[in-house]
Structure formats: C-alpha cells, structure tokens
Amino acid sequence: MAAVGTWGFSQPAVERIRTLITAGQHATDAVENALAEVEDDPETGRHIVGRGGFPNSRGVLECDAAIMEGTAGRFGAVAALRGVGAPVRVARRVMDRSPHSLLVGEGATAFAMEQGFTIEPNDNMLSIHSAKGYQEFLEQKTDVRGHDTLGLIALDCMGNITVGVSTSGAPFKSPGRVGDSPLPGSGLYAEHKVGAAAATGDGDKIMLHCPSFHAVQLMKQGLSPKEACHNVLSDIIKRIDPDRLFEMGLIALNVKGEVGAASSIEFPYTFWKQGKDLVETSIQHPHSTFN
C-alpha cells in the first residue's frame, strides 16, 4: 500500500488515502474521496483546485478532473465543468456510467444533472479570495502565481492502482480552455501491474509531451519511478529550446510501492508507504533533473 500527491497542500489528501486504504477501501474510492474533500473546500481553491479556484476571463469557474484505474479501459473525465464543487465525483460517474470517456462544458453539466448532482450558481463556486483576484485582474490585469492540479495516486492492499487529478485551470483563462489534467497520458496514466503517474504545471505545454504515459511505459520496462520521471523530463529538455523550458512537476508510483518525482521547478510532493505511520513531504529541486 502506498500513496503520493502533488504539492505540499496534498498532505491531508494523502493522509486521507492512507486511512482509507489501510481500512481496506479500494484505491479508486480512496482517490475519489480524498480529491473531493480538497476540491469542495474553498480554502484550497487558492491552489487552483475546485471550489474557490480562480475563474476564467469572463468570471466563470470552470473545472477539469479525471480518474483512471490501472485496469484497461477504466477512465473518466470532465472538462470546463461549471457549478459542481467536487468535479472528480462527476468524472467517476463518467467512468462508471457513461459510454463516453470525456465530457466537456454543457455536456458535462447535463450529465452531472442527470446523475443527481446539484448545479450551483457561479457565485457559490467563488471564494472571497478568488473573487478579489478576478476583480484585480479586470482592473489591473494582475496575474496569479500558484500551484495547479492536485494529483493523487493510490495503491491499495489488493494491488489496485488508481490516479486522479483535479484543477480549476489557468487563472483567467479563455472560456473553454482545457489543459493537460483531464487528458489520459498527459495529466495522468495508470497501468495494472506497473504503476501510475500524474503531472502538474503548464498544461498547455505538458499536453504536447504525454509525460504520464511515458513515465508508466518506462516503469513497465523496469525503471524505478524516480528514474522514469527523470528520464521523461530529460527527454523533454532535449527536444525543446532550453530557454522555453516550462513549469512541470511529475510524480509516479509503481506497484512495489516505490515513489519518484522530477520537475523543472522547485516541487514539493507528499507520500506515504506501507509500514510508515506518517505522510512525508519531499522537495524535488529542478537542478536534479539534469543528474
């Protein structure tokens, strides 16, 4: 059993996963529940996740979320979803109950309503912090710097591995903009008997490189999660202009319970392994990507 999450603010979520899978819960249920608790908390919206996140350029909060099991074909995602405080729960319903894999915009909202979710007015989705940020954007074109995309991976006692991601996307983005997070292979990927990976950072650039799929394939070839993540980032660096290196953090977990990460920025991530009583935090430094 093991779990890992992107950014330092994932610690409570990883702790929640630890509690749930130690009690025998399936990895998918653990990831969904842990993600949803963060998404629906307006205080964590300042990290660009779920309720309380920053709206698009028209002042509307649009969220992306996805969940993927290691079992082939088990994936569900929503993008540009409005009015739902815990979008990962809708993504889970897409995986379980829809013939489709990814629903967006009005279609995602309609599906959520069909599944019994309450669609809240946009004002309910914003926090005082995000509403103020949007007003400053309108008046001063002020940019917002911060984390984006909460990614969680869980390995349960039965060997099931699941990865989930959620983000409210780039602050003040164009309406309908979707980054890497809900795209399989880019923002997340999982494969039974191998492992899973999740990415965070500049989604418009990350999606061009499918880093999560690449990391899992390298683990399939025998590399450790750490080696896989570093090789993925090194490969990207070799293929682009060094002056155009974008922000990216990548985490991976294999079915042995080993964890790894690589990043182009200083990147804190949290993890827990079976036999440990506490969730730990590690800082991935950008210079190590070249080692």
178 labeled binding residue:
yes
Token pair for 172: 């003040």
CB atoms within 10 A of CB 137: 18
User: CB of 6 within 8 A of CB of 251?
Assistant: yes
Q: Is residue 278 exposed (0-12), middle (13-18) or buried (19+ Cβ within 10 Å)?
A: exposed
Distance separating alpha carbons of residues 211 and 180, to the nearest angstrom: 10
CA-based R_g, the chain, Å = 18
180 labeled binding residue:
yes
- Our answer to whether residue 149 is catalytic in this structure is yes
58 labeled binding residue:
no
Give me the residue label for tokens 């909060």: 61
177 labeled binding residue:
yes
Token pair for 70: 């290691």
49 labeled binding residue:
no
200 labeled binding residue:
yes
Strand partners, 201: 248
Give the SS3 label for residue 50: coil
Distance separating alpha carbons of residues 76 and 8, to the nearest angstrom: 26
With vertex at residue 188, the alpha carbon angle to CA 53 and CA 223, rounded to the nearest 5 degrees, is 140
179 labeled binding residue:
yes
202 labeled binding residue:
yes
Marked catalytic residue, from 149, 162, 270, 289: 149
Q: Which residues are catalytic?
A: 149
**Residues forming the annotated binding site for substrate?**
177-180, 200-203
**Residues forming the annotated binding site?**
177-180, 200-203
